[in-house]
């Protein structure tokens, strides 16, 4: 497809090969999933048979897919179990993604709360960013031939959370200096972190800053979520498209903007009676 693919996060319960089946049933054109429990614990081994079936179904349905990492990831934690566990978990997800033929693994970066005196502080000190860079580098310190690439997702910025600004994401990318690490933008997180995307003019100003500080070549995926809270709220609360603070006008602007014409979109809105309307709105209004 030459246009944006419109997809959503789906369940892989009962077997990873169910994820493409679930995406197909919901009318998606691409999909994201968890390859393990997002709340912790080890990951079940992916057998060759499971991987072959996942790849066959993805090929049959012409799907590109993405893995979301577990919730507990924190590259700035001073707790060695959490810090090294985060490194190992993301490395494992890249390995699992490679076996499944997944395009990207998307990860949050964690919190710098261990590096600040006031846990409510929004400032991320250099020590936290440097630790995160070293942890991210450590992911790749193996001889594995990984075909799945890593995306750093912008955060909503609640407290001293890593990666809630273009400046911090740029620092991390520059510190890593790898051609296989890029960025995933989330519309809810962007608005929550103070990046206005509610009108054509506001979106263009925001993307000018993105192009200047990060570079459009690093934008590889977009999570499409409206926001229950206002601009700069630092609250990660997803809402259905057009029912939140971004509104239909903001999403129409994004769908038309040249920076997003060849980037796929993943909905992370609740799977209720409105999810089909979310998909239809994005499909009907893309260029």
Instruction: Tell me the pLDDT tens digit for each residue of 135-144.
Output: 999 999 987 8
Distances (CA, A) of 21 to 13, 17, 55, 98: 11, 7, 11, 20
What HEC string does 185-233 produce? Answer: EEHHHHHHCCCCCCCHHHHHHHHHHHHHHCCHHHEEEEEECEECCCCCC
Number of domains making up the chain: 1
184 lies in a domain? yes
Question: Exposed, middle or buried by CB within 10 Å (0-12, 13-18, 19+), for 225?
Answer: buried
Instruction: Tell me the pLDDT tens digit for each residue of 167-191.
Output: 999 999 999 999 999 999 999 999 9
258 lies in a domain? yes
Question: Any idea what the CATH number is for the domain that residue 145 is in?
Answer: 3.20.20.150
User: 48: domain range?
Assistant: 6-285
Are 95 and 36 a contacting pair, CB within 8 Å? Answer: no
1 lies in a domain? no
pLDDT tens, per residue, the chain with 287 residues: 567 899 999 999 999 999 999 999 999 999 999 999 999 888 999 999 999 999 999 999 999 999 999 999 999 999 999 999 999 999 999 999 999 999 999 999 999 999 987 656 567 899 999 999 999 999 999 878 999 999 999 999 777 899 999 999 999 999 999 999 999 999 999 999 999 999 999 999 999 999 999 999 999 999 999 999 999 999 999 999 999 999 999 999 999 999 999 999 999 999 999 999 999 999 999 99
222 lies in a domain? yes
Are 191 and 227 a contacting pair, CB within 8 Å? Answer: yes
């Amino acid at each position: 497809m030459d246009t944006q693919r419109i997809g959503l996060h789906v369940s892989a319960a009962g077997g990873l090969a169910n994820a493409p089946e679930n995406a197909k049933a919901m009318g998606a054109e691409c999909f994201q999933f968890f390859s393990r429990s997002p709340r912790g614990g080890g990951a079940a081994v992916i057998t060759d048979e499971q991987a072959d079936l996942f790849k066959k179904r993805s090929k049959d349905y012409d799907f590109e897919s993405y893995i979301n990492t577990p919730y507990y990831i924190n590259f700035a934690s001073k707790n060695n179990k959490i810090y090294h566990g985060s490194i190992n978990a993301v490395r494992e997800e890249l390995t699992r993604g490679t076996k499944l033929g997944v395009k990207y693994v998307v990860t949050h970066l964690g919190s710098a709360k261990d590096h600040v005196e006031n846990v409510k502080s929004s400032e991320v000190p250099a020590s936290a960013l440097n630790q995160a860079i070293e942890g991210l580098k450590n992911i790749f310190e193996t001889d594995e031939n990984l075909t799945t690439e890593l995306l750093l997702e912008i955060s909503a910025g609640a407290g001293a959370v890593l990666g809630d600004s273009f400046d911090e994401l740029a620092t991390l990318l520059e510190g890593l200096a790898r051609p296989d690490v890029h960025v995933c933008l989330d519309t809810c997180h962007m608005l929550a972190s103070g990046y206005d995307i509610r009108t054509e003019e506001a979106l263009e100003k925001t993307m000018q800053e993105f192009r200047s500080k990060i570079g459009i070549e690093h934008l590889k995926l977009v999570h499409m979520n409206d926001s229950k809270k206002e601009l700069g709220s630092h609250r990660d609360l997803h809402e259905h498209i057009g029912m939140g603070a971004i509104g239909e006008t903001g999403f129409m602007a994004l769908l038309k903007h040249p920076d997003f014409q060849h980037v796929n979109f993943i909905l992370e809105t609740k799977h209720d009676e409105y999810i089909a309307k979310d998909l239809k709105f994005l499909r009907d209004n893309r260029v």
